[in-house]
Structure 1
Amino acid sequence: MKLIPTGIENFKEMIDKNAYYVDKTNLIIDVLNEQVVFCTRPRRFSKTLNMSMLYYFFSIKEKENAYLFDYLNISKNKNALKDQNKYPTIFISLKDMTKSSYEKQMNRFKEVICLCAKNFLELLNSDILLDSEKKLFQKYVDNEIQDNELESALFNISYFLYK
């Protein structure tokens, strides 16, 4: 008997548990064909699940999970499969950003940046990054950034991964 996935937000968990899944892998084609994709949906409308699916498809760190897409629509698109597991991919969710004050919210966002950076510790050993870039990245890893540095944190991490 198939599982009815109530509250499952992780794509891998859903596929591995053989839960009912409405195949939304055509979203991957939309992402590949557009410069910007803006996903707005009401609460509880699978935004996090869709972002998780995109992460497992594109992330270079998830090659061992390529099987998740074997029987889904995207597996029939040979052009799209050329991009599978080829990119450093940042996956963050802001759904837990529900703190009661500005200060607590800023601290929570710093934690989000810290966790994001910790997923890419290999950047600290990169020969491509400048020492100053490694120093800044280490600040993200250590959660030692100031409020005014948050504005550019995701941009910087993305740039470092791009390099």
Structure 2
Amino acid sequence: MKKFLSIISILVLALLVTACGSDSSKKTSEKKEEKMETVTYVADVGGAKLEATFAHVGDNLRKVDQKMIYPFAALGLEAGVKLDDAMKKQLEEQVASQYSGYKDSKGASIETKFTDEALELTMSIDLYKADKASVSSLLGGTTDPKKVSLKQTVEQFEAQGFKKKES
């Protein structure tokens, strides 16, 4: 389980490392009504279903929502196993430890949910609500949450095996 979460952590870090900023060539005097758009990328890594939805205006990333579904078999548990409260608590503690920055940061959140067959994680970071300290912690040293490049972020996700989800 720990090794598997480490692999997924690397994928999450790909987002965080790429958030080193984008070149903002728009002039502030040309303020127009900006239309937020979303694009979703998906991957299957070791049996886990991963989905990342990026909200953006042009190349400016605004928010990232991630959903990860880990079948119990991918976590090293037998298929069809029923988790008792102690096992659920242990898994939740491992997740909380692995992704503590999402729990403790302004503008970020993480939730865990158990189904009969899987552990589901939902993580979110709103770059326009996050404070600079949170962003620096979560985004690998980036200090300006309002200058994260969608293009660079997507390139890193694609390098990790993510594919654009057709709508």
Q: Which has the higher helix share?
A: 1
> Does TM, scored on the shorter chain, surpass 0.5?
no
Q: Which has the higher contact order (CA 8 A, sep 6+)?
A: 2
TM range (shorter): under 0.3
Q: TM-score, normalised by structure 1?
A: 0.26
Q: TM-score, normalised by structure 2?
A: 0.26
